Amino acid sequence: MSTAGSGHKLQLWGGATSRTFRPHWMLHELGIDYEPKLIGSRTGETQQPAFLKLNPKEKIPVLVDGDFVLTESVAIVTYLGDHYGSDRQPRLVPAANTRARARYNEWMSFIQMELDAHTLYVIRRHKDLAELYGAAPAAIDAAIAGFTKQVRVAQLRLESSHYLLGDEFSAADLVLMTCLAWAKACGIELAAAFAPYMAELEARDAYQNAAKLNFSISAGA
């Protein structure tokens, strides 16, 4: 494992959730020796003054790279690939200003909006966190239907391509996998076609080691 270019250790704040798992997994894929700051969501830790200075959104994950602080799981994953993975072949994040990068951005936006924010996170807010956000059974049903419809687009792609971007695993697969595992944990039935893809990604050493770390704490109630 290597430290960041200038010799300082990167810090990654957050653990226990699918969103925090993304950058932990990416750091492990890149073989970066970083400092995990395993705070959980809704434990009160995201409201502590030191953390609020890093992220006034009161959310994890947060990456600290020297004097550079970055929030948003997908932005962090892409930054890590750009800044610490450009020598890795194949790259986990395609080079900027290429059609491959445009396709990567397309998948990342799609996954964040259609498979995370509009659907899985709606289920989380109005089911597990109903005491905070209100119970909304109709919204949950619509979210399950929306996820099931949209995930089919990824399924169709994976029927004709080993990975989302082609023959090589990329950070787009990493983020998709976190949503597939999250959906499974929510009880959403996934098409059988996803099973070999998920089994293969789950078997990666980086996945296993990052999961051990990320899920070594639990989220608050």
Does 128 engage in binding with ligand GSH (CB under 6 A)? no
* HEC profile of 160-218: HCCECCECCCCHHHHHHHHHHHHHHHCCCCCCCCHHHHHHHHHCCHHHHHHHHHHCCCC
Size of the site for ligand GSH (CB under 6 A): 11
Does 119 engage in binding with ligand GSH (CB under 6 A)? no
**2 touches 33 (CB < 8 A):** yes
Site for ligand GSH in 14-43 (CB under 6 A): 17, 19, 41-42
Give the range of 54-62, 100-108, 149-157, 207-215 binding ligand GSH by CB under 6 A.
54-62
Side-chain-side CA neighbours of 172 within 13 Å: the count stands at: 26
Radius of gyration in angstroms for the set of CA atoms belonging to the chain, rounded to a whole number: 17
| 113 to 82, 108, 165: CA distances (angstroms) | 22, 9, 18
Closest approach, Cβ 73 to ligand GSH, in A, equals: 4
Give the range of 26-34, 58-66, 160-168, 207-215 binding ligand GSH by CB under 6 A.
58-66
Q: Mark residues 73-102: x for contact with ligand GSH by CB under 6 A, - for none.
A: x-----------------------------
Contact residues toward ligand GSH (CB under 6 A) are: 17, 19, 41-42, 46, 58-61, 72-73
